[in-house]
């Protein structure tokens, strides 16, 4: 019976194919070794990845830290979509000892920390090639001083399903070279990557359903080379496909470099892409931009554009007929132009149309809205909407160098703007339910407009929340109003929609109270608050007090509570993000607004 069970198990294991091997690569190894231990490791990553090695689907290759020099890595494995994942994973001293990505801008590639592919010549060496294959993980690897970095250059569109994580790419190419290039490559994950100095592009992504997270791209060099071009980076991250997610990524043009810098851009036919929580600094050709008429229905959410040493930085750029794109809860800070429309004659006959800016902040600009004359300045800007935005501290509200029709400002607050407009064209914007205060021009005419102090909480520190007595509360319109505000608080909160980026929350104290004593429910003060709050309620209502965000997640663990007495509890909400939270007890609930 035991022999029969053993035989059955052996057959089952063989049938489901769970046998996996682990191999090793080390600078002290030899490609004639077995690779089955560190002591008997292979010498090159290129051999481990080649068709000649025994590595097969489901295997793992551990690569020890060291300088591997010129080591073109063409991965010649996994040519079938169903092949199990092969992982190439770097380590420092023992496999698994790199738990995070420890490199930051200013660091140089260091072979003592992670394995380094380093030809030492930016005119040669391919780095790692993952073209026309499936399900490969590359993790904890450095590539420096070579012609190209990582390439996924598929001959047809495939779900290549690669994972690239903890990758440092530095000094890639002398001419138009790309640190990370993907063509017809879908369903890949790229996390925790740092790119410093790639002459053509940091990331050039032509594919769908890819996920980029916590990647950072910098350029700080501007050397003239033999072909008459410069080494400064042209594109930092350019997307040419659909349904890609880019979150918590950063790009910076560090200096007044020769190339103007295209920051995070969607180009050609890119649709339904989402950029969220990204920051880009000092890009003349657009920190965030949409370009060409096929670029539609993309969203930039909670993104931040920052000016820099160049005096003509563009925050959000619409060009070449891009249409139907949304910028939600985004910030332009100290850029020459907050919103810029241009046309260079590449595609389309309008600069851009039917794009929307919702809950956005444009502050410290020369032109808040720039209808720029770049090249074909007879091309119009049509039917774009700027809704529930704050424009604060600008030289001009508009630079008007293009025809414009059907564009609207709705529910906006415009303060501290010196002049209405400059330029040779007539403004044809419609202004509705907006507050014009302390500007160098009179309130603009339009339904629902007011000229009153909006009573921001503290505009000097960028806090554009409305105070309780603000005339902007309930003074807006529902027309094209976004469903949530800058803090994701549902609109409207009161009798009507508020002007500006924030709704003033309705729940400001008592639910089910009579006078100052709690009868049914709980009382919270102060509200809104930034640090300590006190919750008062009837015993035994406070015995099971919890805090939830608007998605229903319990965030009680991010607070500190202290029981004062049977009817009072003090809660420190300092560690919570700004927004509305539900304070729930055993018998009642109320809302608190955290600034």
Rounded Cα–Cα distance for residues 542 and 536 (Å)? 8
**Which pLDDT belongs to residue 521?**
60
Q: CB burial class (10 A; 0-12, 13-18, 19+) of residue 94?
A: exposed
Give me the CATH code for the 260-454 domain, please: 2.160.20.10
Q: Exposure string (b/e) for 207-242, b if CB count within 10 Å is 16 or more?
A: bbebebbbbbbbbebeeeeeeebbbbbbbbbbbbbb
Going through 173-273 in order, the beta strands assigned E by DSSP cover 178-186, 189-198, 201-206, 211-213, 216-219, 235-239, 245-247, 250-253, 262-267
* Topology of domain 21-257, CATH: Pectate Lyase C-like (2.160.20)
pTM: 0.85
User: Collapsing DSSP states into helix, strand and coil, what is residue 457?
Assistant: strand
What is the CATH number assigned to the segment(s) 513-594?
2.60.40.10
**What pLDDT score was predicted for residue 564?**
64
Gap between the Cα atoms of 469 and 454, Å rounded: 9
Q: Round to the nearest angstrom and report the end-to-end CA distance of the chain.
A: 70
- For the chain, which ranges sit under pLDDT 50? 1-18, 508-520
Structure tokens at 413: 């607050």
Can you give the pLDDT at residue 327?
Answer: 98
DSSP string for residues in 311-336? TT-EEEEEETTEES-EEES-EEES-S
Provide the mean pLDDT of the chain.
90
The residues, ordered by sequence, that sit 6+ positions from 1 with a Cβ below 8 Å of its Cβ are none
399 burial via Cβ count (<10 Å: 0-12, 13-18, 19+): buried
Identify the pLDDT of residue 345.
Answer: 87
Query: What pLDDT does 518 receive?
Result: 37
Residue 213: its pLDDT value, please?
98
Scan for tokens 């229903």, then name that residue: 552
Tokens, residue 126: 């391919």
Q: Burial-class residue 193 by CB neighbours within 10 Å (0-12, 13-18, 19+).
A: buried
CA–CA gap between residue 93 and residue 95 (Å, rounded): 7
pLDDT digits (tens, 9 = 90+) for 47-67: 999 999 999 999 999 999 999
What integer pLDDT is reported at residue 9 of this predicted model? Answer: 36
The reply to whether 260-454 shares the fold of 21-257 is yes
Burial (0-12, 13-18, 19+ Cβ within 10 Å), 22:
middle
For the chain, domain boundaries: 21-257, 260-454, 513-594
In this structure, are residues 77 and 48 in contact, taking their beta carbons and an 8 Å threshold?
A: no
SS3 14: helix
- Alpha helices (H) in 457-576, listed in sequence order: none
């Amino acid at each position: 019976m035991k022999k029969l069970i053993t035989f059955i198990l052996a057959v089952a294991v063989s049938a489901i194919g769970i046998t996996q091997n682990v191999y090793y690569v080390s600078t002290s190894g030899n490609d004639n070794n077995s690779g089955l231990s560190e002591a008997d490791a292979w010498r090159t990553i290129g051999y481990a990845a080649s068709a000649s090695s025994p590595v097969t689907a489901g295997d793992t290759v551990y690569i020890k830290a060291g300088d591997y020099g010129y080591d073109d890595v063409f991965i010649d494995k996994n040519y079938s979509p169903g092949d199990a994942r092969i992982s190439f994973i770097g380590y420092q001293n023992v496999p698994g000892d790199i738990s995070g990505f420890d490199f930051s801008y200013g660091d140089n590639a260091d072979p003592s920390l992670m394995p380094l592919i380093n030809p030492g010549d930016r005119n040669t060496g391919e780095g790692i090639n993952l073209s026309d294959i499936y399900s490969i993980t590359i993790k904890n690897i450095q590539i420096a001083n070579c012609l190209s970095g990582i390439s996924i250059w598929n001959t047809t569109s495939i779900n290549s399903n690669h994972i690239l994580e903890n990758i440092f790419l530095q000094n890639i190419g002398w001419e138009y070279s790309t640190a990370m290039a993907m063509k017809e490559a879908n369903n890949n994950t790229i996390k925790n990557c740092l790119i410093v100095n790639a002459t053509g592009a940091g990331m050039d992504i032509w594919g769908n359903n890819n996920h980029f997270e916590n990647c950072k791209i910098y350029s700080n060099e501007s050397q003239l080379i033999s072909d008459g071009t410069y080494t400064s980076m042209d594109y930092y991250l350019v997307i040419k496909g659909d349904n890609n997610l880019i979150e918590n990524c950063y790009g910076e043009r560090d200096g007044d470099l020769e190339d103007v810098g295209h920051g995070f851009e969607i180009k050609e036919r890119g649709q339904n892409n989402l950029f969220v929580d990204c920051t880009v600094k000092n890009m003349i050709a657009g920190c965030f931009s949409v370009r060409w008429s096929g670029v539609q229905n993309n969203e930039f959410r909670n993104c931040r554009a920052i000016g820099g040493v160049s005096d003509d930085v563009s925050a959000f750029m619409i060009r070449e007929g891009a249409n139907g794109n949304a910028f939600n809860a985004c910030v332009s800070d100290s850029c020459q132009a907050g919103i810029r429309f241009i046309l260079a004659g590449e595609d389309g006959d309008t600069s851009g149309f039917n794009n929307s800016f919702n809950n956005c902040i444009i502050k410290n600009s020369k032109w808040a809205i720039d209808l720029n004359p770049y090249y074909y300045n007879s091309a119009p800007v049509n039917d774009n909407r700027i809704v529930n935005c704050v424009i604060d501290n600008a030289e001009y509200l508009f630079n008007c160098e293009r025809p414009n029709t059907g564009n609207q400002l709705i529910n906006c607050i415009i303060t501290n703007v010196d002049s209405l407009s400059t330029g040779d064209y007539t403004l044809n914007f419609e202004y509705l339910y907006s507050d014009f205060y302390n500007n160098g021009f009179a309130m603009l005419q339009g339904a629902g407009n007011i000229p009153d102090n909006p009573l921001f909480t503290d505009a000097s520190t960028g806090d554009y929340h409305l105070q309780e007595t603000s005339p902007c509360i309930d003074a807006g319109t529902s027309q094209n109003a976004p469903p949530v505000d800058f803090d994701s608080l549902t609109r409207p909160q009161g009798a009507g929609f508020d002007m500006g980026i924030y709704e003033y929350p309705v729940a400001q104290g008592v639910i089910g109270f009579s006078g100052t004593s709690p009868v049914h429910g709980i009382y919270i003060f102060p509200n809104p608050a930034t640090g300590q709050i006190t919750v008062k309620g009837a015993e035994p209502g406070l015995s099971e007090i919890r805090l939830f965000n608007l998605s229903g997640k319990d965030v009680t663990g991010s607070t500190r509570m202290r029981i004062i007495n049977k009817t009072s509890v003090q809660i420190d909400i300092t560690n919570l993000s700004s927004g509305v939270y539900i304070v729930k007890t055993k018998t009642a609930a109320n809302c608190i607004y955290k600034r």
